[in-house]
Amino acid sequence: KMKRMTVVGVVIALILTTLLVEADKDVTEECKKLGFDTKSLLCQDCDLFFEVTKDNELKKECKKCCSEQQIKQKYHAASISACRCNIKSFPEILHFFEKRSQAFGSKFTYQYVNGIMPTLFLKDERLAIKEQLRIDSWTSDDIEDF
């Protein structure tokens, strides 16, 4: 009788584990559709998104996809690309280019690329792009802090 209960317990545990894994896959797929990378998204980033966008719905969606992990990945270098034709529509980005970017030395570059919205590119030690973020609603302080 004890052996049978142990087998039943193991079977129940396997079923529950399978259900949890499937539910996690569903959440991961939903997050991908929303544009969130569950492997690298930290919950503190959701708070930053909210500060910048003031969008409660975005914050809720983000919080479903994030991790509480406090260790943030460090990148070797960063660059911002923006379109020269509409950079004046983003005075905070332009201000950062002109007044604040020099503080980061050779670890930061900016360039004008036709047709692109302001985008931050985060790079590894080989200068390969590892992450990119749209920053059109960010302030100069947001960029510097990030």
Task: Tell me the pLDDT of the chain averaged across its residues.
Answer: 78
Each residue's pLDDT tens digit, 48-98: 877 888 888 888 888 888 877 654 567 889 999 999 998 899 999 999 988
Any residues with CB less than 8 A from the CB of 129 and at least 6 apart, and which? 121, 122, 123
What number is the average pLDDT over the span 108-114? 91
In 17-137, at which residue ranges do the beta strands (DSSP E only) sit? 77-82, 108-112, 119-123, 129-134
Question: For residue 2, what are the CA distances in angstroms to 6, 14, 61, 114?
Answer: 6, 19, 46, 72
Q: What does pTM read for this prediction?
A: 0.52
3-state secondary structure 26-43: HHHHHHHHHCCCCCCCEH
